[in-house]
Amino acid sequence: MATSKKVRKSVSAWNPSLAAPFVAKHEGLKLEAYKCPAGEWTIGYGNTRINGREVRAGDRITKAEAEAMLKQECARVRSQIADSVHVPVSLGEFTALVDFVYNIGIGGFRRSTLLKKLNAARYVDAGYEFLKWKYAAGKELPGLVLRREDEKKLFIEG
């Protein structure tokens, strides 16, 4: 029985658009501004900004605008991750990281044990760190529990 080896390369070598469908699945699409569980005005696929300004009550966008914003944000997140991750990653690891940082922000990621373990090339250990990030505004959210399980599974299994 042949075993397949994960192809790993630098974060910056991966196309950020490859992560967009996974992010979209977790964020969901809302074309009118709403308050997310953390209390921030949000629109599209979890965006808190439109054309450089904060989202406000009453803002509306089209699906095409939301998809363009998603791809742009995935590219921005990839650049942030590339500045922090010093080991090669597989496509599954890359996609899980983009989804994670898209959701929690780069600050939390840079301070995380997940990043420390990943940069030590402790890939499986790093994968289990996703499960710790299931809280918003101090409350455990069922949606975040499921999202983190999906990220962990994709990160570890590819």
The question of whether 36 is a catalytic residue gets the answer yes
* CA–CA gap between residue 16 and residue 25 (Å, rounded): 15
Could you tell me how far CA 9 lies from the centroid of its own chain? 18
Out of 27, 73, 93, 129, the active site residue is 27
- Enzyme catalytic residues: 27, 36
